[in-house]
Structure 1
Amino acid sequence: MLKNVERFSAMMNFSYSKASVEVRATRLEHPPRMDQINYELTLYSNDDRLNVPLLKKNIEKHGTIYNTIEQSCAIIGTIKTTANV
């Protein structure tokens, strides 16, 4: 996901200083599998050109790892921005 942010920042023409992602998952025992993954992606940016809904859509549509995992469990995520200090 972080690599996709780097790639899409160039394509969508926005800048950011850093990004972090927090992931939480729910695992079922029988059968053993991942049931749901929750993520919160935080972008540190002061750039007004950052279109968060479009970035989220691009990550969900074009992220290869995202799409692979989505085939086996639900993925729920949010993207938030924090101003650089």
Structure 2
Amino acid sequence: MTETPTKMTFHVSSRRVDAHGSLSLCKNAEIALDTDMAGNAEAFNPAELLLAALSACMIKGIERVVPVLKFELRGVQVIVDGVRQDVPPKMESIRYEIVVDTDESDRRLDLLHDNVKKFGTVFNTVAPGTDLSGVMRRA
């Protein structure tokens, strides 16, 4: 008898605070949302949240494989830029740069990047519908 793999589930609740913003809640955390039609510099708008989710996915993926690969690093920074098209509205392209502070070889850096691309949940959700590309480089 084959066991069905356990699936992870996620739950987020968002509510309108006022005409200038909303709030998303998850576990014991909250994120201010820019849902103001004029914009709100104090919060992430939906497109910025998508880019933040992608960058968090990349960093979490690195954290997941660092012990497995015995990869030594001192820090990671992810820079993500997106271009939105108007008709139909969608994120047309996303470019990223993952900067890793490490003394590991270029081959090992490439292996780390491959793992980020292969096993990232948000990465693999966004990639099929978006022109998604980027680089991983040494700090």
Q: Do these two structures clear the TM 0.5 threshold for a shared fold by scoring above it?
A: yes
Trace 1:2-81 onto structure 2 (pairs within 5 A): 2-48=59-105, 51-81=108-138
Once the two structures are superposed, residues 12-33 of structure 1 have per-residue CA deviations (whole angstroms, 9 ceiling, x without a partner) of: 1111111000001111000100
Deviates most, 51-60 or 30-39: 51-60
Alpha-carbon shift at residue 49 of structure 1 (Å): 8.6
CA distance in 2: counterparts of 1:69 and 1:19, whole angstroms: 21
What residue number does 2:24 align with? none
- The alpha-carbon distance between structure 1 residues 49 and 35, as it changes in their structure 2 partners (threshold 3 A), is closer
Alpha-carbon shift at residue 50 of structure 1 (Å): 6.8
| Corresponding residue SS for 2:129 | coil
Alpha-carbon shift at residue 67 of structure 1 (Å): 0.2
Alpha-carbon shift at residue 58 of structure 1 (Å): 1.2
| Corresponding residue SS for 1:80 | strand
Give the number of the structure with larger relative contact order, counting CA–CA contacts within 8 Å between residues 6 or more apart. Answer: 1
| Corresponding residue SS for 1:51 | helix
Gaps of 5+ in 1: none
Which residue identity does 2:137 align to in structure 1?
Answer: K
TM-score by length of 1: 0.87
CA distance in 1: counterparts of 2:118 and 2:107, whole angstroms: 18
Which residue identity does 1:6 align to in structure 2?
Answer: E
Q: Which has the larger radius of gyration?
A: 2
